[in-house]
Amino acid sequence: AQSVTQPDIHITVSEGASLELRCNYSYGATPYLFWYVQSPGQGLQLLLKYFSGDTLVQGIKGFEAEFKRSQSSFNLRKPSVHWSDAAEYFCAVGEGNNDMRFGAGTRLTVKP
Amino acid sequence: DTGVSQDPRHKITKRGQNVTFRCDPISEHNRLYWYRQTLGQGPEFLTYFQNEAQLEKSRLLSDRFSAERPKGSFSTLEIQRTEQGDSAMYLCASRRGGAGGKDGANVLTFGAGSRLTVL
């Protein structure tokens, strides 16, 4: 069964510092991979997605993620974090017509 | 495109009461999904519809839960005889149908959610 693991429950970074959020998946084929962000009281907003092709995908708000098949990973990165990036981040995996599975999330705190 | 709308945003009820949530998806999206999210967890899949047909249900969806999408547009999620363990955020999402493809086919658009508190 497909699954998603986000090893870091909570990460704190200083404003302006770089960010990497980890995501590992378990799936038999090449999955569709997503990162969503959720601010308090808000729905989930899609940051970026990987379906095929270039393994480095660019998203909104300056985020990018790299698909590494050999490591079954899809880590999210941002070179310089802004205070407004503080939120909960979810990695998700989906395939074809099936439902998407989400990781437990990583809460990002940004220090001034 | 007004996005995915959910109503009510917050519902407080006493244990044993019935509650119903409504979801209005993006109009051209034929697929509609319900997820449940508890504190500190990611969304967990409950069920989904293609048009009016309910195609898959999670084992999380006990017999106290029922979902409908009678005309293939809006959907309702009803919880009967609520329990304290039902307290959660219930998220609705929609997308265009289709088995993959690079653009749009598998991207879910989420509503803001309906938070249920069972006292």
Kindly state the average pLDDT of the residues A74-100.
89
- Say whether pLDDT at B101 is over 60: no
Label residue A58 by pLDDT band (50, 70, 90): very high
> Which H or E run includes B102?
none
For B101, the closest chain A residue by CA position comes to A51
Query: In chain B, what residues touch A97 (CB-CB under 8 Å)?
Result: 97-99
| A47 part of contact set with chain B, CB < 8 Å | no
**Could you read off the pLDDT of A32-42 as tens digits, one per residue?**
899 999 998 78
pLDDT mean across residues, chain B: 90
Q: How far apart are the first and last CA of chain A?
A: 41
Kindly state the average pLDDT of the residues A48-59.
90
Query: In chain A, what residues touch B58 (CB-CB under 8 Å)?
Result: 99
- Say whether pLDDT at B92 is over 90: yes
